[in-house]
Structure 1
Amino acid sequence: MNEIHTHLTACAAEAARVTRAITAERLAGPTGCPDWTVRELANHLVLYTAHGLEHRALRTELPAETVGRDFTADTDWPERYADRLDRALAAWAKPEAWDGDIDLGGSEMPAPEVAGMLVAELALHGWDLARATDQDFAVPEETGAYLLDVVERYADVYREYEGFAAPVAVPAEATAFTRALAASGRTP
């Protein structure tokens, strides 16, 4: 297995753990993401880090009915999310998933770069969801270092599309994961 798959797996396990601890009562609560409730953030996470992760590996489009779905309407949504993450990770475990480019709707990017951005999606929105529901989100130091590299490489693009806020200052001795959160505009 390659290094990026290892980081995807670590972040997916942590995101699944966080979602399993979210009660139905928490879904209407606020998050640190402007204008998103816990439910909206959870749906975004499920759509793009499970369904989207799998479809990117398979080079297929997300079905239209999946895009507008409220995954959290199902009482067992955390388990379904974990199962879908497992499917997505299995799709990325195939060597051919890493070959060539992936169409991003008008532009193409090498598969490993897309996978790196999906690591960021899992880690950053997983952390957002954890924070909104009074939980921690932890990744191995190597995953934090990888995430920091991805965030720094793509920060300007994400800011252009309002996916990141301005960077936040953190102490120099902060972990790589904390620095990645801060570089993405989150306040760790």
Structure 2
Amino acid sequence: MVECAAEAARVARGVTTAQLAGTTHCPDWDVRALVNHWVLYTSHGLEHRALRKPLPESLTGRDFAAEAGWASAYAAQLDRAVAAWADPVVWEGEVDLGMGSMAAPELASMVVKEMALHGWDVATVTGQEYRISDTAAGIVLDVVTTHGDLYRQYDGFAAAVPVPSDAPVFARALGLSGRDPRLARAGA
């Protein structure tokens, strides 16, 4: 979580205002919509889940990317979210999702997956490199493997993109989530 949050903050700082109107490989989302989703769920959502509070409407409809200094604000919010999960008690029990509940460690791993995959999405469409360790990538791959069919059922993932079995761990996670790892080299 700490590693992916640091990389998310780094990537966010590399997004220019001009790039926010650009297209993405995510259907129906421009860069601004992608960034707003990423900021909402991976920082505010992560903190609110740790505190066992629902996201207020004042956040769910907010255009974070329209605010001056949004990337720095995102980095600060990521720090608060990671700090909220630093308490070992937060990792115990279930988190109410409003439509059921989920074990806290499983929920945290799913948000880390969001941080990494959408971090890669943002990095790729803004001409940046996305870097995480194989350990962090392994967590992402595990979540994508475990929940990929569910995400596809709700159009969260596209059909898997074939990736060689000996490809780097994160490339395999990207492919299984319906992302083409070759986009990073092509600059999407």
Q: Where has structure 1 moved over 2 Å in runs of 4 or more?
A: none
Name the counterpart of 2:146.
Answer: 153
Question: 1:10 is matched with which residue?
Answer: 3
| Distance in 1 between residues matched to 2:152 and 2:86, nearest whole Å | 31
Aligned-CA RMSD value: 0.7
Equivalent AA in structure 2 for residue 92 of structure 1: W
- How far residue 170 of structure 1 moved from its aligned partner, in angstroms, is 1.1
Tell me if 1:41 matches 2:34. yes
The one-letter code of the counterpart of 1:180 is A
Unaligned runs of 5+ residues in structure 2 are 182-188
Counterparts of 1:33 and 1:161 in 2: how far apart (Å)? 14
C-alpha separation in 1, matches of 2:68 and 2:31:
15
1:10-52 Cα deviation digits (max 9, x unpaired): 1111111111011110000001101101111000011000000
State how many pairs are aligned: 181
Instruction: Find out whether 1:164 has 2:164 as its counterpart.
Output: no
Q: Is the 8 A contact 2:113 2:139 kept in 1?
A: no
Shift in Å, 1:172: 2.1
Please give the alpha-carbon distance, in whole angstroms, between the structure 2 residues aligned to 1:129 and 1:107. 30
* Residue 81 (1) aligns with residue 82 (2): no
How far did residue 171 of structure 1 move? Answer: 1.7
Structure 2 residue aligned with 1:4: none
Is structure 2 residue 23 aligned with structure 1 residue 30?
yes
Asked if residue 134 in structure 1 is aligned to residue 127 in structure 2, the reply is: yes
Question: What SS does structure 2 have at the residue aligned with 1:109?
Answer: strand
Task: Report SS of the residue matched to 2:21.
Answer: coil
- TM-score, normalised to structure 1, is 0.95
Give TM-score, length-normalised by structure 2: 0.95
Q: Structure 1 residue 73: deviation in Å? A: 1.1
% identity of equivalent residues: 56
